[in-house]
Amino acid sequence: MQCYVSSPEGKGPFPGVMVFQEAFGVNGHIRDVTDRVAKEGYVAIAPELFHRSATPGQELSYADFNLVMPHFQAMTTEGMAADVKATYEWLQKQANVKHDKIGCIGFCLGGRVSFLANTEVPLAAAISYYGGRTAEYADRASNLHGPHLFFWGGLDKHITQEQVDLVINAVKAANKPYTNVVISYADHAFNCNDRPAYNKKASDEAWAMSMAFFRNNL
């Protein structure tokens, strides 16, 4: 599995952060996010979650979801869990990483993977931006390891309020620490500055909260 890695300057050790892609590959935007995380003082790694069906380094167009669907549909829970564990184990082997201070952040598809990751490996913090189909994993809430930060767009037509409620109520019922943020004026994918739904104000606010969350927990 090919990954994009970005590290802070210096020897560290630093906390580690897994960055999980949208449904379009580890493209320029995800690499930029990974670099931004590294500049905040974290060893950041973005695994190519489509590696079983796509060629290494493949980037998919935002304009044609039909090209994305074969890769999206080829993903399985077992495969995603294996990729999470492999990425986590890579971080565990790095001398410049604090092995007990590893977190993750993911967007859309990656938001769902972040939730899954927090149930699969002992993370110290996890962040999900508008994680589509996260509700499918609501029954795993009792397995969450670290505190979880959720972001949702109030204008998002892809993720219903019922789905959001199912996730949050499950985490609450499991008595797991979480922060739930709904940005009323933002749409799905509000963080991606390469997509029409990008909302700078929402993105800036969510990023500031995300970095404060990581600082508090990692």
Report residue 49 as tokens: 């979650």
| 36-70 per-residue burial string, b: 16 or more CB within 10 A, e: under 16 | ebbebbbbbbbbbbbbeebeeebebebeeeeebee
Q: With beta carbons less than 8 A apart as the criterion, state whether 165 and 143 touch.
A: no
| Residues 75, 108 contacting (CB under 8 angstroms) | no
For 198, which DSSP code? -
Tell how many helices (H) and how many strands (E) occur in the chain: 6, 7
pLDDT for the residue 64: 83
Q: What is the pLDDT of residue 81?
A: 98
pLDDT tens per residue, the chain (218 residues)?
Answer: 999 999 999 989 999 999 999 999 999 999 999 999 999 999 999 999 999 999 999 989 888 888 889 998 899 999 999 999 999 999 999 999 999 999 999 999 999 999 999 999 999 999 999 999 999 999 999 999 999 999 999 999 999 999 999 999 999 999 999 999 999 999 999 999 999 999 999 999 999 999 999 999 99
